[in-house]
Amino acid sequence: MAEEEFQYLSGFGNEFASEDPRCPGCLPKTQNNPQKCPYGLYAEQLSGTAFTAPRVTNKRSWLYRIRPSALHTPFKPIDMGNMRDDWNSWYPDPNQLRWHPFTIPDAAKGAVDFAEGLNTLCGAGDPKTRNGLSIHIYACNSSMLHKCMYSSDGDFLIVPQKGTLRILTEFGKMTIKPNEICVIQQGMRFSVQVSEPSRGYILETYNKHFTLPDLGPIGANGLANPRDFLTPVAWFEDKEIQCTIINKFQGKMFEAQQGHSPFDVVGWHGNYTPYKYDLDKFMVINAVAFDHADPSIFTVLTCQSETAGVAIADFVIFPPRWSVQEHTFRPPYYHRNCMSEFMGLIKGKYEAKEEGFRSGGGTLHSMMTPHGPDSECFEKASNANLKAERIADGTMAFMFESSFSLALTEWGNKTCLRVDEEYYKCWQGLKSHFNPNDRLKLSETGGESVSKVKKFSF
């Protein structure tokens, strides 16, 4: 794929229309599905929500294609190794968990494409009832040839860590580099090409689609801006080739065959599309007078549950920024959370654990499992001069946070051979500094005598 073939329309959640310039006028002018489509095309609707969903949340696109996507042989079960939503056969583990960088297949031992290199790390819920999520790791060294895939279970949020992905979708082409993300929504067929060994993370959500978080008191400008989300321009190929269609369905993998390219959409219009986003465009907000701002101020995308303010999954990043703080501990505080937190590192060193947490690896802190800075970070930050300074330059860490209690698959707990058995030791150096005979002056801590504090409750 030539780089100049990748063009984008800007926007997020809006209605778009796109035609391949080789077939101008391929989109009907007066109605969605005329008796006969221009150029002898077939009209096919792809619905991402129920037909009767409210207008503000209704998602669908019309595809005008050379052949309907129904033209294939029956799907048959296949063994895709460790790509399966099976986290009930392994005993739960409440410990702090960390993985060394996940292994990339050695090209000398054979070609492994994106679909073959998928492994399910952990998850919760059930795709059959459309309730839950899963986290996958991909690691590959070759392109998908005459092959595409899609998920009937949910949306794929793809976070490349190493290697550029060139993704061909039914809607057009996208190039996704490390420090960018893309979302391939439920049911959209895609194929991945690579020119180098590649590795990254995938968050799959079953319930709903990702949206931008509400800004509330932040106001109109902040976090991720809608105009920076980019949607591909229509592009098609008309090829009669034997092609394999891989379908993730109810947590299992299936494949079918068809005698033509699945990427034969000449034009499309609608608001249900794949899209990409450059993490460098995130507008950071972070000036702290006391305590430490919750990581929710770094939310890029969210998939909300039916309970207001409670996410099925949030995608949160920790980008380079100015850290401006006074009278407080600068790094993340020690914490126990009613949410599950999976963290990955795209590049650089994460401030709270600069050594053990490495690019291409991950951590999981489950519900109410205590975590926070390691002992070295604590000592350094406790004695630091709290002047304004740049932090996280050259670094991009992220978090998949969920209200679901995540459980590991056998691959995540054992087969991957990447579990760091000594992770717990990073906190063993924390020691007591308590001395009741060496009381700090209250002015130094910004407090006042408890007896002088007026008590009240809301």
Whether residue 106 lies inside any domain: the answer is yes
Judge if 237 and 288 occupy the same domain.
Answer: no
pLDDT attached to residue 452? 52
Residue 43 CB contacts under 8 Å (≥ 6 apart), including other chains: 28, 32, 33, 34, 37, 62, 63, 64
Whether residue 392 lies inside any domain: the answer is yes
Whether residue 450 lies inside any domain: the answer is no
Per-residue confidence band for 90, with pLDDT thresholds at 50, 70 and 90: confident
Does residue 410 contact residue 88 with C-beta atoms inside 8 Å?
no
Does residue 360 contact residue 199 with C-beta atoms inside 8 Å?
yes
Judge if 153 and 26 occupy the same domain.
Answer: yes
Q: Residues 100, 260, 292, 376: which is the catalytic one?
A: 292
Beta bridge partners of 169: 172, 190
Structure tokens at 282: 């995130």
Q: Is 3 exposed, middle or buried (0-12, 13-18, 19+ CB in 10 A)?
A: exposed
Is residue 365 annotated as part of the catalytic site, yes or no? yes
Strand order in the sheet with 97-99: 97-99, 362-365, 340-347, 396-402, 311-318, 299-304
pLDDT attached to residue 7? 46
State mean pLDDT over 153-162.
Answer: 98
Length of the chain: 458
pLDDT at 243 over 80: yes
The single residue listed with the structure tokens 């549950």 is: 305
- Report the alpha-carbon distance of residue 175 to residue 180 in Å, rounded: 9
Q: What distance lies between CA 417 and its chain's CA centroid?
A: 23
3-class DSSP assignment, residue 298:
helix
CA dihedral in degrees (400, 405, 410, 415; nearest 10)? Answer: 30
pLDDT at 121 over 60: yes
Whether residue 440 lies inside any domain: the answer is no
pTM: 0.93
pLDDT attached to residue 398? 97
pLDDT at 441 over 70: no
Of 256, 279, 302, which residue is a domain's last? 279
pLDDT attached to residue 440? 58
Judge if 327 and 419 occupy the same domain.
Answer: yes
Pairing of strands 16-19, 340-347: unpaired
List % helix, strand, coil for the chain (3-state, nearest 5): 10, 35, 55
Q: What is the pLDDT of residues 49-61, one digit of tens each?
A: 999 999 989 999 9
Judge if 184 and 74 occupy the same domain.
Answer: yes
Per-residue confidence band for 458, with pLDDT thresholds at 50, 70 and 90: very low
Is residue 136 annotated as part of the catalytic site, yes or no? no
Q: Which amino acid would we find at residue 186? A: Q
pLDDT at 359 over 70: yes
Q: Residues 335, 376, 379, 410: which is the catalytic one?
A: 335
- Mean pLDDT over each residue of the chain, to the nearest integer: 90
CA-to-CA separations, 175 to 105, 165, 186, 277, in angstroms, rounded: 22, 6, 19, 11
- Report the alpha-carbon distance of residue 197 to residue 425 in Å, rounded: 32
Q: How many CB atoms are located within 10 Å of the residue 337 CB? A: 16
Is residue 209 annotated as part of the catalytic site, yes or no? no
pLDDT at 2 over 60: no
Whether residue 115 lies inside any domain: the answer is yes
Percentage above 90 pLDDT, the chain: 70
Judge if 300 and 266 occupy the same domain.
Answer: no
Judge if 60 and 197 occupy the same domain.
Answer: yes
Judge if 233 and 326 occupy the same domain.
Answer: no
Judge if 199 and 316 occupy the same domain.
Answer: no
Whether residue 442 lies inside any domain: the answer is no
The domain that holds 389 is classified in CATH as 2.60.120.10
Q: Residues 255, 341, 351, 401: which is the catalytic one?
A: 341
Provide the domain count of the chain.
Answer: 2
Judge if 225 and 347 occupy the same domain.
Answer: no
Is residue 260 annotated as part of the catalytic site, yes or no? no
The single residue listed with the structure tokens 């190929």 is: 237
State mean pLDDT over 184-189.
Answer: 98
Percentage above 70 pLDDT, the chain: 91
Per-residue confidence band for 3, with pLDDT thresholds at 50, 70 and 90: very low
- Report the alpha-carbon distance of residue 371 to residue 336 in Å, rounded: 7
Q: Residues 72, 269, 371, 401: which is the catalytic one?
A: 371
pLDDT attached to residue 32? 65
Judge if 271 and 389 occupy the same domain.
Answer: no
- Report the alpha-carbon distance of residue 200 to residue 279 in Å, rounded: 15
Q: What is the pLDDT of residues 368-416, one digit of tens each?
A: 999 988 888 888 888 888 788 888 899 999 999 999 999 999 999 999 9
pLDDT at 227 over 50: yes
Instruction: State the first-to-last Cα distance of the chain, in angstroms, to the nearest integer.
Output: 61
Does residue 204 contact residue 135 with C-beta atoms inside 8 Å?
yes
Q: Residues 44, 269, 365, 401: which is the catalytic one?
A: 365
Per-residue confidence band for 446, with pLDDT thresholds at 50, 70 and 90: low
Of 279, 309, 344, which residue is a domain's last? 279
Whether residue 447 lies inside any domain: the answer is no
pLDDT at 326 over 80: no
pLDDT attached to residue 256? 98
pLDDT attached to residue 186? 98
pLDDT attached to residue 327? 77
Judge if 122 and 139 occupy the same domain.
Answer: yes
Q: Which amino acid would we find at residue 191? A: S
Judge if 236 and 311 occupy the same domain.
Answer: no
- B/e letters for 65-93, b = 16+ CB within 10 Å, e = fewer, are bbbebeebeeeeeeebebbbbbbeebeeb
Q: What is the pLDDT of residues 250-307, one digit of tens each?
A: 999 999 999 999 999 999 999 999 999 999 999 998 776 677 788 899 999 999 999 9
Residue 361 CB contacts under 8 Å (≥ 6 apart), including other chains: 98, 99, 100, 101, 102, 344, 345, 418, 420
Of 279, 306, 338, which residue is a domain's last? 279
Per-residue confidence band for 448, with pLDDT thresholds at 50, 70 and 90: low
Per-residue confidence band for 4, with pLDDT thresholds at 50, 70 and 90: very low
Range of the domain at 213: 3-279
pLDDT attached to residue 437? 81
Is residue 341 annotated as part of the catalytic site, yes or no? yes
Pairing of strands 172-176, 131-140: unpaired
Q: What is the pLDDT of residues 27-50, one digit of tens each?
A: 998 766 678 899 999 999 999 999
Whether residue 446 lies inside any domain: the answer is no
Does residue 5 contact residue 28 with C-beta atoms inside 8 Å?
no
Q: How many CB atoms are located within 10 Å of the residue 416 CB? A: 20
CA-to-CA separations, 34 to 37, 65, 102, 226, 267, in angstroms, rounded: 6, 14, 50, 32, 14
